[in-house]
């Protein structure tokens, strides 16, 4: 676009763009949504597994699939998405 932005400003802009283009949470199954909500509230995968009566590997898989569906790359992005979209 012909503009120069510092690396830190570019990172903020890129993050905002990624968040704006993220898929809606309605694409998640109820089980994936449960995992995202609990993870964003600060629970560890083992705690989520115990709470929901599922294996840790199932919880991990559901979190990974949810992240893919929401087009988020990092755990921080997932937590930010949950916060910005009223999931927590």
Q: How far is CA 75 from the centre of its chain?
A: 6
* pLDDT bracket for residue 4 (50, 70, 90): low
| pLDDT at position 32 | 97
* pLDDT bracket for residue 19 (50, 70, 90): low
What value, to the nearest 5°, has the Cα angle with vertex 80 and ends 3 and 73? 70
Q: Name the DSSP class of 21.
A: T
Rounded to an integer, what distance in angstroms lies between the CA atom of residue 88 and that of residue 84?
Answer: 9
The CATH architecture that domain 24-84 belongs to is Orthogonal Bundle (1.10)
If one counts every other C-beta atom within 10 angstroms of the C-beta of residue 20, the result is 7
**35-66 confidence digits (pLDDT tens):** 999 999 999 999 999 999 999 999 999 999 99
Q: Is the pLDDT of residue 2 over 80?
A: no
More confident site: 39 or 9? 39
Share above pLDDT 90 across residues of the chain, in percent, rounded to a whole number: 65
More confident site: 7 or 20? 7
Q: Where are the beta strands (DSSP E) in 1-88?
A: none
What residue segments make up the domains of the chain, in order of their start? Answer: 24-84
Rounded to an integer, what distance in angstroms lies between the CA atom of residue 10 and that of residue 12?
Answer: 5
């Amino acid at each position: 676009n012909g503009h120069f932005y510092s690396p830190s400003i570019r990172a903020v802009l890129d993050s905002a763009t990624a968040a704006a283009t993220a898929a809606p949470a309605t694409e998640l199954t109820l089980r994936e949504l449960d995992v995202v909500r609990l993870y964003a509230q600060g629970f560890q995968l083992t705690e989520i597994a115990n709470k929901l009566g599922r294996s840790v590997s199932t919880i991990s898989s559901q979190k990974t699939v949810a992240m893919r569906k929401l087009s988020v790359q990092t755990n921080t992005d997932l937590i930010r998405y949950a916060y910005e979209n009223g999931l927590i």
